[in-house]
Amino acid sequence: MPSIIEINDLSFSYVRGSGEKTLRDINVEIGEGEFVLLAGRSGSGKSTLLRCINGLIPHRYYGTYEGEVYVKDLLVSEADLSHLSQVVGTVMQEVDKQLIGATVEDDIAFGPCNLNLPLEVVRQRVDEALKLMRISHLRDRELHALSGGEKQRVAIAGIMAMNPEIFLFDEPLANLDSDGVRSFTDAVSILRSLGKTIIVAEHRTDILAK
């Protein structure tokens, strides 16, 4: 299985922190289509590692950065963030912070519109994402009226419309009830069936291991 992510001797400490390394000497290869669970207590560096993969570190979060991270043969520290966002999609713990637009359809269309894709292609991607995430019935719903699990599915659909190969999830179960958890695990199953590479940072590992 060819590697889609390669991390070599990665260490990082935040500029405003104590100076202690949040990540130290990380070496890992992740193959295409793999499902990877990052487990650990709060503050152990799970979110930091995701930021190193999607490029927010070192391009948005600053500190002492050592080593190399490659995503699809792109050296993350030198790659353009807009280019990386087409390869790596991230669903944050607080999905409200990444939802844009008045309605579900508006939100999902936002990403591909910013890629300057033809309108017909945008519509096709929105339709496909809605169908795959099983939320076509929510197309015209206003975002504020959605449940936590529904918002998360909309966030995932918005990333799917960008068609990345890698999906990162940062503590995705933190704000979900039992219905929301089932919705998330179902969404992950859909992504895995599509051959996507998935990395989940989560401390509730017992649920995802089932």
> Left, alpha or beta for 9 (phi > 0: left; psi -120 to 50: alpha)?
left
Q: What is the mean pLDDT of the chain?
A: 92
* Average of per-residue pLDDT across 57-64: 94
Q: Using one digit for the tens of pLDDT, what is the confidence trace for 146-191?
A: 998 899 999 999 999 999 999 999 999 887 888 888 888 899 999 9
DSSP H helices in the chain: 46-54, 56-59, 81-84, 104-114, 119-132, 148-160, 178-193, 205-208
Residue 19 pLDDT > 80: no
Q: How far apart are CA 47 and CA 38, in angstroms?
A: 9
The pLDDT of residue 203 is: 78
First to last CA, the chain: 24
- Domain positions in the chain are 3-208
Q: Using one digit for the tens of pLDDT, what is the confidence trace for 65-118?
A: 999 999 999 999 999 998 999 999 999 988 899 999 899 999 999 999 998 999
1 versus 131: the higher-pLDDT residue is: 131
Q: How far apart are CA 93 and CA 99, in angstroms?
A: 12
Provide the percentage of residues in the chain whose pLDDT is more than 90. Answer: 73
Name, in order, each residue with C-beta under 8 angstroms of 147's C-beta and a sequence gap of 6 or more.
179, 180
Q: How far apart are CA 79 and CA 81, in angstroms?
A: 6
pTM score, two decimals? 0.91
Distances (CA, A) of 95 to 69, 130, 145, 195, 196: 26, 17, 14, 24, 20
The pLDDT of residue 208 is: 65
Q: Evaluate whether 112 touches 125 at the Cβ level (below 8 Å).
A: yes
| Answer CATH for 3-208 from 3.40.50.2000, 3.40.50.300, 3.30.420.40, 3.30.1490.20 | 3.40.50.300
Distances (CA, A) of 2 to 5, 33, 169, 193: 9, 10, 22, 18
